[in-house]
Amino acid sequence: MRCGAAVEELASDVMGELPTDAQREIVERVELVRSAPDAWLDVRDPGSVEEFREVFGARC
């Protein structure tokens, strides 16, 4: 199984275990990111790790 397929399956399993309100919030956030991808950090950029730490804290 490809890594992407395994991650997709895991995400689907996790979503299925969440309460309906949480599922709705996650879908809304995913749609927000999809609608404006340039507004978010590009994880393909090697320097993005430091940017994530600045935004989300050292535990990220």
Average pLDDT over residues 48-53: 74
> CA 48, CA 41: separation in Å to the nearest integer?
7
Model's pTM, two decimal places?
0.55
Residue 28's nearest CA partner among 38, 41, 15, 17 is 15
pLDDT at 25: 92
Q: Does pLDDT of 53 surpass 80?
A: no
Tens of pLDDT, residues 3-47: 567 778 888 899 999 999 999 999 998 898 889 878 777 777 777
| Residue 21, domain extent | 3-56
Instruction: Provide the domain count of the chain.
Output: 1
